[in-house]
Copies of this chain bind each other. A is one copy, B any other.
Amino acid sequence: MPEDVESSSFEMDWDRESRTGVSEAVLCGHKSTAQIEAIVAAAQVARRRLLLTRLTAEAFAALGAGTRALLDYEAESGTAVLGERLAVNPIPGIGIVAAGTSDMPVAMEAARSVAFHGYDAPIVADVGVAGLWRLMRRVKAIRQFDVVIAVAGMEGALFSVLAGLLDAPVVAVPTSVGYGVSFGGRSALHAALASCAPGLVVVNIDNGFGAASAAIKMLRVGRRRCTCLVPTVG
């Protein structure tokens, strides 16, 4: 074997946060129990905090008791955190708006990912546009956020309506909620991308973590050059 070829099947990108502003997360969906345990153990040894996503209740239960004891697991979102919680940044900023009850797991993944980086992100739930009044009576509250994460499945009409009402950037997270032509979240995804509402940007289907990463990066934009605001830590 040529020199310098190593054998471990994973190598954490510990410097990602300093390089890109947000941490790497461990996407557990396609990983074996042994792989997840090895990654947690490595983080423990390296004294690193860690966010795990797409960890189903079954996958969590399959982990060894020792590993499980190290993790703060939340079942609805399928996320787990290794390491202490960060103090929440006192300056508000990110809000999460979810179209329906069925979209809550993805909204929760986003909220947990934001919290992992030391921010708070309230969820405004069940404001689908088929009953427009539900959204309208909360618009004033939603306008207080600096960045908005919008979570919707089915036809994804929430994205256009919301982005047309706000001056904050809106990160659309299409969800796989629905059936028939919406199955798998593609209709909601395409609705978000095809919208002519200004400032609407999109991440992959069900990607609550990705939306959170983007929202955090946006929050820090401008503050880079600002000296009057308490500098963010995350």
Mark A residues whose CB is within 8 Å of B.
1-11, 13, 15-16, 19-24, 27, 29-32, 35, 39, 54, 76, 91-92, 95, 98, 100-102, 104, 120, 122-134, 138, 140-141, 144-147, 153-157, 159-161, 163-169, 171, 174, 176-207, 210, 213-214, 216-229
Apart from A8-B125, A10-B126, A146-B225: 12 A-B pairs, beta carbons within 8 A:
A5-B124, A11-B134, A13-B134, A19-B166, A130-B163, A156-B157, A168-B217, A181-B204, A186-B190, A187-B187, A200-B210, A223-B226
Give the CA-CA distance A207 to B179 in the complex, in Å.
9
Give the CA-CA distance A217 to B205 in the complex, in Å.
23
**B187 near A180 (CB under 8 angstroms)?**
no
Contacting residues, chain B, for A184 (C-beta < 8 A): 180, 183
| CB closest chain-B residue, reference A14 | B131
**B22 near A198 (CB under 8 angstroms)?**
yes
Contacting residues, chain B, for A183 (C-beta < 8 A): 184
A220 to chain B, nearest CB (A): 7
**A204 near B182 (CB under 8 angstroms)?**
yes
